[in-house]
Every structure is written in structure tokens, then in C-alpha cells.
Amino acid sequence: MDLEPMTAPGDPNLTAPVITSEDGFPRTVLSERHPELLRKVLDGVPYPPEIRAAVNGLAEEIEGPILPLSDTHADARQWAEWSAPYLGKSWYEVPFLWAENYFYRKLLAATGWFGPGPWQGVDPFGPQKDAELAGPAVQAELEALSGLENIPEGELIDSLVLAALWGNRADLGFQLQRPAAGGRQPAGENLIEDDRATLIPLLADARDIVWVTDNIGRELLPDLVLADRLLLLHPGITFRLHVKPSPYFTSDATPIDVLKTVQRLVDGPGVASQIGHRLRNSLSEGRLRIDAHPFYVAPLTFDQASEDLQKTYAEADLTVVKGDLNYRRLVGDVAWPATTEFAAMTSYWPGRVAALRTLKSDVLVGLDADRLAELDSTGEKWRTSGNYAVIQVR
């Protein structure tokens, strides 16, 4: 597969991907977030000297030319093709989406993830993930699940969709506190595009749902609670969790992360434990499935997904993509005008698709012109603050 960017409908000139040299979010990720991430990896896992040297070498490389992979893992040849146009260039003059993915691929190689050796399969982000899952915030979420019993059935899916949308920004307990009649949803003023009126009926009617996950912990937990509720309401459905096949973007969910989260529910109090046991049964029965396709750790957009994955999307009644990275892959990591139609940018999708996304990067489409003007007038860095969100459906 090539790395050609998407083309905006009606304007073939609007195809240039976001570049790492651009001030703001892309440059900050490379110059600040990635070095800090590497320090946390070395603080979290007691790697031996040779691995520590390799990780520190990656930190130094970011400030120099892009180097080829040093390992021969099964995907190395494909990565060599993807990397060919950029090797030898500065990390600060290449497509941002590619650079981020390449960084994480190199980090896994540096930490010995691919092996052979004793560090094969050791998640470099494992200590951070485990600390979150065992922490007080997740415990509070588990306890808040008792509030599910107080929500009318007709409003429950709506509450769980909002909880899945906001993830780490607003805790599940807050989302389960319904406003008074005529009141506004919690955090509703920051939901700047809201297609729930379309999404909720689709979820209710779908019998084969693909749910492309984002982060673990407090973001994966409401995904699983929503999956359990839909499986409980509709015994004939299949809910497919699509996760990363290897550790990626620090906190992205992998198969083992899903299983750990289910077990955390099982070990939780009251309602949480009931949900956890039902999810275990759903996994055993094949109604809840986990898929870890290699596409999800490739520097590609969804229109470049392989035929087998496209077939999965086409056969599903609905695919929901979660999070910022998946959104950039869905519409293309390009500085489109924010008023570009979401339906137009996702017209290639072979079935129904929805995006649940808290904004943490600049790329955005489907926004009303008046709302855009209002947000821009605040002077706030609203596109990257994590304080705003969209629910969009095509």
C-alpha cells in the first residue's frame, strides 16, 4: 500500500498532509512529548544497559536524520517501503502521521519487543497502563457503575455513549448523573458536533458492530460497559473490539489490555463484577470478539486498509471509530477546512461509520461555520485542549 494522502471532494489541490515542521501540536509532540515518553519508559521498566542505550539513541535520533530500522521483524520489509521517501531527512520535515507511527515502531524494536530474547513481548508502557488500571480513578468508575440501575432504559445507551466519548475528561459517574428534565447533558456545551440522534438508533438496530478502540483504562472501561449493555439487550448481536496488535501510542489498547480490564471489572464491586462476568461469558461464546489487525499499527489512513479489513467494515451494520488518531486516519491527516463535510470525507467507507472523538489535534471536518467562528474567537487552543468533542455519523 502506498502513502498517498486523501483528496478533498471537489478540490484535488487540498491533499498535503500535516507536516511535523508545523508549529503547534506536531512540533510539540516530537520535541517534547516523545522525549518525555522515552524517559517514562526507562523509568518504568528496568531494562538492561543495551536496551537503555537503544532507547536513548532513539531520543537522539529525533534531533537528527531519520534512520532505517535496525531489526528484521516480519513487517520490516513493508516498513522499508513506507520509509524510503523519508530516510535521511529531518524528523521535522515529514508527514506527521507517518512520523508518529514510525517512532512507535522504532521504540518497540529498541525495547526488544520483537525479540528474540527475554524482553520479547514485554510492554514498554505496561507499568503506566497497570498503574492506571489499579488506580483510584478506575476504582471510582467501577463503584459508579451502581448508578446504571437508576437510569431509565431508554436513556441508558445515550449515557454510555457519552461516557465512551469523553473518556478521561469526564468520569463515568458524572456521565451517569442525568440532568433534570429540559436540562443539558453533562459537558454538552463542549460537544460541538452531535449526531447522537442518528447514532443511538443505529446501535439499537445493529446486529454486527465493529468498535475500533482507543486508549485503555478509563477510556476502554465505558466501551466495555456499553458493549455489555448492547449484548444484554440484543442476544443475537456480535460486538467486535478492534485493538492494536502491539503496544502503541503509549496507552492504546491491545488484546491483553482488554482481558485485564475485563478482569478488573470481575474483581470490582457489585454491578461492575456482574458486568465483568457477563463480558467473560460473551468472549467465551464468541459474541464479544477481539481483533488485532496489523493495519492498526501501520502509518496508513482507513481508505488504505487491506481488502480483508474493508470486507469486515462492509459486512458490519456499523463501525464506530474512537479517539483522535483514528479520526485522523478516518478523514485524512490533512488541514482540511473545518467546514468540509464529514460525509464527503468518509464517502469511501464501505458501510455505516461513526466517529467518537475528543479533540486533541488540529484535524477536524464537519463543523458548522458559525460554531467554528465562535470557537476561533475565544483565542483558546480548542482543537488540541481535549475539552471539546464530536460525534459524527455517515
Give start and end residues of each alpha helix (H) in 29-125. Answer: 34-44, 49-61, 76-83, 96-110
Query: What average pLDDT score do residues 251-274 get?
Result: 97
Domain ranges of the chain: 25-123, 130-393
Q: State the Cα–Cα distance between residues 323 and 100, nearest whole angstrom.
A: 15
Model confidence over 153-166: pLDDT tens digits? 889 999 999 999 99
Phi, psi of 212 (to 5 degrees): -85, 110
Q: Are strands 208-212 and 238-242 parallel, antiparallel or unpaired?
A: parallel
Phi, psi at 65, each rounded to 5°: -75, 155
Q: Is 169 helix (H, G, I), strand (E, B) or coil?
A: coil
Q: Angle at the Cα of 230 (from 389 to 218), degrees rounded to 5? A: 45
Element (H, E) at 343: helix 342-345
Under DSSP, is residue 11 helix (H, G, I), strand (E, B) or coil? strand
Nearest by Cα to 275 from 180, 156, 391: 156
User: Residue holding cell 431508554?
Assistant: 154
- Nine cell digits for residue 49: 544497559
| pLDDT tens digits along 331-359 | 999 999 999 999 999 999 999 999 999 99
CB 323 within 8 Å of CB 104: no
User: Facing residues of 390 across strands?
Assistant: 193, 357
pLDDT score for 169: 60
Calpha distance 32→87 (Å, rounded): 22
Tell me how crowded residue 91 is: count the other CB atoms within 10 A of its CB: 20
Q: Using an 8 Å Cβ cutoff, are 101 and 83 in contact?
A: no
Specify the 3-state DSSP secondary structure of 392: strand
C-alpha grid cell, residue 317: 451494520
User: What CA–CA distance (Å, rounded) separates 97 from 301?
Assistant: 9
Residues 262 and 214 sit within 8 Å (Cβ to Cβ): no
57-108 per-position pLDDT tens digit: 999 999 999 999 999 999 999 999 999 999 999 999 999 999 999 999 999 9
CA 33/CA 41 separation, integer angstroms: 12
pLDDT at 187 over 80: no
Q: What is the mean pLDDT of residues 277-295?
A: 98
Does the structure show a pLDDT above 50 at 172?
no
Contact 138, 221 (CB under 8 A): yes
Mean pLDDT of the chain: 92
Contact residues for 329 (Cβ-Cβ < 8 A; gap 6+): 97, 300, 301, 302, 321
The SS3 of residue 236 is: coil
Determine which helix (DSSP H) or strand (DSSP E) holds 390, and give its type and residue range.
strand 389-393
pLDDT of residue 149: 86
Size (the chain), residues: 394
**Strand partners for 320:** 211, 354
Cell numbers for 82 = 513506507
Q: In the CATH scheme, what is the homologous superfamily, with its name and number, of domain 130-393? A: Uncharacterised protein PF01937, DUF89, domain 3 (3.40.50.10880)
